[in-house]
A and B are shown apart, each in its own frame.
Chain A
Amino acid sequence: MKTIIISGILLLLGSITSVEAQKYFTREAQVSFFSDTPMEEIEAHNGTSTCVVDFEDQRMEFAVLIKAFQFEKALMQEHFNENYMESHKFPKATFKGKIINPTELSAKKGKQDVEVQGTLTIHGVDQEVTAPGTIEFTKENVMVSSVFTVAVSDYDIDIPGVVRDNIAKEVEITVDATLEPLK
């Protein structure tokens, strides 16, 4: 009986520590996007995004503050917030999903190709997306990166005729994050 209780307690403790050690996070994930048309190249960077990954069940979440995107052209940044993304109404873009491939990540393998699936919310619109990426376990950290495209029209973002040739229909999004263990 005693041994069972002890083993029970050990199991309890063990489960807690193993779960905790498998969560990683950052508040400084780099998210940038790039729109390329013959008329104009537009890019913006945001280095203050939040990301949490739980390797226990391979869940992954991102939160990206829209106002924190920085553009080369100040007016573009203003229009991005005021007219397109309406950041006063929809301050954040989020992603909530899961690493679906591989189903069991190995912490030892180095850089691994992964596939992530989940709900991407931009401009208040939810879309199911699947994106490729890589995950690399280093001694202390986990590096996460991904490049994928989103269609502007999927997110109810209204682009008027006069600038239709300046803004790409599909925008390339790059994510780069170095996560540290969440204690």
Chain B
Amino acid sequence: MFVLLSLSFFYRGSVVGQDDLLSLLGEEEETVDYAFASFKANRVINLHSVENTSAGVLDIKISHRFGMINSGFYELFGLDAASIRIGGDYGITDNLTVGVGRSSFQKTYDGFLKYRLLRQSSGAKVMPVTLAILSSLAVETTRWPNPARENYFSSRLFYTHQLIIGRKFSEALSLQLSPTLVHRNLVETEQEAHDVFSLGAAGRIKLTKRMALNAEYIYVFPDQLAPGFRNSLSIGLDIETGGHVFQLHFSNSTSMIEKGFITETTGDWGGGGVHFGFNVSRVFTIRRPDIKE
């Protein structure tokens, strides 16, 4: 009987002595773990990154490219000249972003829609990559060089369609590929293609919690552009401070929109044909999300 009694106490003791109360609940349901912050901003430098603007958030961007460094001391190595794009991106939903902008270069207005089709995740749902599709329209509004001839509005339109496939490999490393089609309604010579196919590649290495090194290169498939045009290469540093992201970079492209930096880049890195520039992004929460209490 002592055995029994002591057994009963032992049993009781063993329950009470259980180390971890939470483990009594058993295995937790696995949650879907989405990758986030693959890039600090929704642009790598010129290229759109895989990131979308969150729902209800307005992201005001002021982007600047100074003149080319090889313009010499008289131009203070490019600092006397500036090309600017002012724009705003808004997250309609977490997966759909709309944006507009206006560039001083070629007095161009642009607008885009960006939709995230797949989102990288682990846990209950495994998805190795994030996939987004971008469509943009650009309208040049400089005065017609030859007003005497018949000019059409459609001649000023440029369309871009791009897939963005990206993966955050680790906290430090994110990479993406951007196959792109730029359609130009009017080109200068017959040898130039209306439809220009290219492949962009971009990556970032996170240096510290608030700084990241970015690079992007866009390879334009041969025999589509007139001689003298080059592939765009940009290298930059992202610095994040609370609600701002400062992106400082060097790029051989003057334009900051797809049709420009993909098909109209003339700068030559080897000869110092490079712009110093920056993007400043500031976010404002316009529509507050519903928080489940």
Minimum CB distance partner of A75 in chain B: B283
A82 touching B242, Cβ below 8 Å: no
A116 within 8 A of B: no
Other contacts beyond A54-B16, A72-B289, A75-B243: 6, CB < 8 A = A19-B12, A61-B20, A63-B22, A75-B54, A160-B210, A182-B24
* CB-contacts of A75-126 with B (<8 A): 75, 78-79, 81-83, 88, 94, 96
* Residue in A9, A61, A158 whose beta carbon sits within 8 Å of that of B22 in the complex: A61
A72 touching B285, Cβ below 8 Å: yes
A153 within 8 A of B: no
B7 within 8 A of A: yes
Residues from chain B with a CB closer than 8 A to the CB of A96 are 21
Q: When chains A and B are docked, how far (Å) is the Cα of A54 from the Cα of B28?
A: 19
B33 within 8 A of A: yes
Q: A5-B1, A67-B33 are in contact. Are A56 and B16 (CB under 8 A)?
A: yes
Minimum CB distance partner of A166 in chain B: B242
Interface contacts (Cβ under 8 Å), in number, total 105
A47 touching B11, Cβ below 8 Å: no
Chain A contact-residue range equals: 35 or more
Q: When chains A and B are docked, how far (Å) is the Cα of A9 from the Cα of B292?
A: 48
Q: A12-B11, A23-B24 are in contact. Are A162 and B1 (CB under 8 A)?
A: no
Q: Can you list 18 contacts pairing A with B, beta carbon distance less than 8 Å?
A: A5-B4, A12-B7, A25-B24, A27-B25, A52-B21, A52-B24, A54-B16, A61-B20, A63-B22, A70-B289, A73-B285, A74-B56, A74-B57, A74-B283, A74-B289, A78-B36, A78-B37, A88-B171
B149 within 8 A of A: no
B55 within 8 A of A: yes
Residues from chain B with a CB closer than 8 A to the CB of A9 are 4
A25 touching B25, Cβ below 8 Å: yes
A45 touching B11, Cβ below 8 Å: no
Q: A8-B8, A9-B4 are in contact. Are A57 and B16 (CB under 8 A)?
A: yes
Minimum CB distance partner of A3 in chain B: B1
Minimum CB distance partner of A25 in chain B: B25
Q: When chains A and B are docked, how far (Å) is the Cα of A158 from the Cα of B209?
A: 10
* Residue in B36, B241, B293 whose beta carbon sits within 8 Å of that of A30 in the complex: B293
* CB-contacts of A127-150 with B (<8 A): none
* Residue in B28, B283, B291 whose beta carbon sits within 8 Å of that of A72 in the complex: B291
Residues from chain B with a CB closer than 8 A to the CB of A61 are 20-22
A50 within 8 A of B: yes
| Interface positions of B (Cβ within 8 A of A) | 1, 4-5, 7-9, 11-12, 15-16, 20-22, 24-25, 28, 31, 33, 36-37, 54-57, 91, 171, 209-210, 240-243, 283, 285, 288-289, 291-293
| Interface positions of A (Cβ within 8 A of B) | 1, 4-5, 8-9, 11-12, 15-16, 19, 23, 25, 27, 30, 45, 47, 50, 52-54, 56-57, 59-61, 63, 65, 67, 70-75, 78-79, 81-83, 88, 94, 96, 158, 160, 162-163, 166, 182
A74 touching B22, Cβ below 8 Å: no
B22 touching A50, Cβ below 8 Å: yes
Q: When chains A and B are docked, how far (Å) is the Cα of A45 from the Cα of B15?
A: 34
Residues from chain A with a CB closer than 8 A to the CB of B11 are 12, 15-16
Q: When chains A and B are docked, how far (Å) is the Cα of A94 from the Cα of B288?
A: 29
Q: A25-B25, A74-B54, A163-B241 are in contact. Are A19 and B292 (CB under 8 A)?
A: no
Shortest Cβ gap from B169 to chain A (Å): 13
Q: When chains A and B are docked, how far (Å) is the Cα of A45 from the Cα of B292?
A: 8
Q: When chains A and B are docked, how far (Å) is the Cα of A45 from the Cα of B37?
A: 21
A162 touching B242, Cβ below 8 Å: yes
Q: When chains A and B are docked, how far (Å) is the Cα of A1 from the Cα of B1?
A: 8
Q: A5-B4, A61-B20, A75-B54 are in contact. Are A83 and B210 (CB under 8 A)?
A: yes
B5 touching A82, Cβ below 8 Å: no
Residues from chain A with a CB closer than 8 A to the CB of B12 are 15-16, 19
* Residue in A1, A19, A75 whose beta carbon sits within 8 Å of that of B16 in the complex: A19
- 10 closest Cβ pairs, A-B complex: A74-B54, A12-B8, A8-B4, A52-B21, A15-B12, A61-B21, A4-B1, A83-B209, A163-B242, A70-B291
